[in-house]
Amino acid sequence: MRSSAPADCVVDGSVSWLTAAPAPDRDPTGAVTGPLRARFALRLAEHEHVVGLGERYHALDQRGWAVDAEVFEQYCSQGERTYLPIPFAHVVGGDGWGFHVDTTRRVWFDLGATDEDLLWIEVAVSPDDPDVILRLWAGAPATVLAGFLELVGPPGLIPDWACRPWISGNEWNTQASCAGS
């Protein structure tokens, strides 16, 4: 299989709109019946690996996983869940490329879990404004990251207190549990 490059990585015919009703309009009561999600696939070459999508604890390489880019308040055994999702990733192992789904809504990724040659992306959309912005960058991780940072801005310096000792209790998840400590 050839290397996936941003110019040709969106799979022809893969784009679909998932709707609540057959027509993307409103019903007689005024309720929105238009698209609720957009779904599309990107090509993955056999030797490519997917790294990113925010803080993850289950694996560095996300290929072969289905992950949800939604904030989950789950303190222990996060698995594929996270409280710091970012719909941005690098695809490494070939010529290199990266992608960003520009949204604040929930995004689901099937990173070769169902079909090893495809990276499926499903994103929640507003029925009134169902546009989806997918940004693609070609190149090494440094080039992809530079493109992403040009879009979102560079990270700020961490505050001085972050360089001091921290005390954490990652085993509690309620105020009542904290009070007993």
Encode pLDDT of 34-83 as tens digits. 678 899 999 999 999 999 998 877 888 999 999 888 776 665 566 666 77
The CA distances from residue 47 to 62, 121, 144, in Å, are 13, 20, 18
Residue 180 has what pLDDT?
Answer: 47
Report how far Cα 8 is from the mean position of its chain's Cα atoms: 20
Encode pLDDT of 92-150 as tens digits. 998 899 999 999 899 999 999 999 999 999 999 887 788 889 999 999 999 999 999 99
* b/e burial code for range 72-84 (CB count within 10 A of at least 16 → b): eeeeeeeebbbee
Domain borders along the chain are 6-153
Residue 163 has what pLDDT?
Answer: 92
Query: Sign of torsion, CA 137 139 144 147?
Result: negative
Strand order in the sheet with 16-19: 16-19, 35-43, 118-124, 107-111, 66-69
Can you list the alpha helix ranges (DSSP code H) found in 83-157? 141-152
Answer for the pair 97, 44: CB distance below 8 angstroms, yes or no.
Answer: no
Residue range 6-153 in CATH 2.60.40.1760: yes
- pLDDT of residue 30 exceeding 80, the answer is no
Answer for the pair 32, 128: CB distance below 8 angstroms, yes or no.
Answer: yes
